[in-house]
Amino acid sequence: MRVAEQVAVVTGATSGLGEAIAKRMAEEGAKVAVVGRNQKRGEGVVAHIRQKGGVAEFFQADVTVEAEVEAMIEAVSRQFGKLDIVVNNAGVVIPGSVATVKKEEWDEVFAVNVTSTYLVSHYSLPHLIKQKSGSIINISSEAGLKGLANRAAYCAAKAAVVGMTKAMTVDHAADGVRVNCICPGTIETPMIKEMLAKHPQPEELMEQFFSRRVTPQLGTAEEIAEACVYFALPDNKYVTGAVLSIDGGALAK
C-alpha cells in the first residue's frame, strides 16, 4: 500500500473523478475524508470503501463557503489526528462565451473551481506546514491549457487553478509541501453524461469531444485517480510544480 497511514482529503468526492480518487486512495492505504454536499452519495462512497477494508469518513461541506471549509478541515484533523494529502477536485462547467455567459454563472464557475481550491488549501496549509510535509493536488482541465469553444468561464477558471498551483509550489517548497496539478481531458463521468443529456445535439457534442484527441476512447476516472496516487507518494520529493495533462493527446494534436 503506497500511501498507508496517510490522511487524504478529497473534495467533490461524492461522484465522478472525486469518488474514483477517494476509492483509489483508500485502496492504497490512505484514511480518506470524503468531502461533498450530498450526504447520501457521500455516505455511499464511504460504505464502499469500508466494505473493501478501507478507512473513510464523510464530511459534508460546501467548499465555496469559508466557514464550512474551515470547520471541515478542523473536523478532519480531529478525526484522524493529522492531514497529509489534499485533492482539490470540486468543479463545475457552465457553457457560454464571454458574450453570452451571465455574471452569476461566471461567478459560480469561479467559486466552485477556483475559490474552493484556495479555501481548502488555505485552511489545510497550516497543518501541512506544521509537520513539514504534505501533498496538494489540484485538478484543473485541458481547458486550463487551451481555448475551448463555448467554455469561456471554465477555461479562465481552470487556467487560474494552474497558475495557483505554480504560485503555491514556489511559496511552500521550503515548508516541505509539494503542489501539483492534473489537467484531464474529457473523462467518462456523470458530469459528462449530464452535459450530453442537456445538449440539443448530443451526437455533435460527443464528436467534439473525440475530435480534440488522438485516442479512440475517452479517459476514465480511474486513470486520473492513479495519477493522484503518484503525486501523493511521500517519497516523490522531487515531484512538485508539475502540470500533468491526461487528455488523450489533445495538447499534442
**Check whether domain 7-244 has CATH 3.40.50.720, yes or no:** yes
Split at pLDDT 50, 70, 90, the class of 207 is confident
Contact yes or no for 232/6 (Cβ under 8 A): yes
C-alpha torsion sign, points 174, 235, 243, 206: negative
Grid cell listed for 174: 521550503
Mean pLDDT of all residues belonging to the chain: 95
Q: Is the pTM of this model over 0.75?
A: yes
CA distance 98 to 102: 8
Residue 114, C-beta contacts closer than 8 angstroms, at least 6 positions apart: 157, 160, 161, 164
Grid cell listed for 88: 482539490
Catalytic residues: 154
Least-confidence region, from 71-80, 197-206, 232-241: 197-206
Strand runs labelled E in 90-197: 134-139, 177-184
pLDDT digits (tens, 9 = 90+) for 66-86: 999 999 999 999 999 999 999
Q: Report whether pLDDT(190) > 80.
A: no
Grid cell 480518487 in the structure block, residue: 21
Sheet holding 177-184, edge to edge: 55-60, 31-36, 7-10, 85-88, 134-139, 177-184, 243-246
Grid cell listed for 180: 501539483
Strand runs labelled E in 89-241: 134-139, 177-184
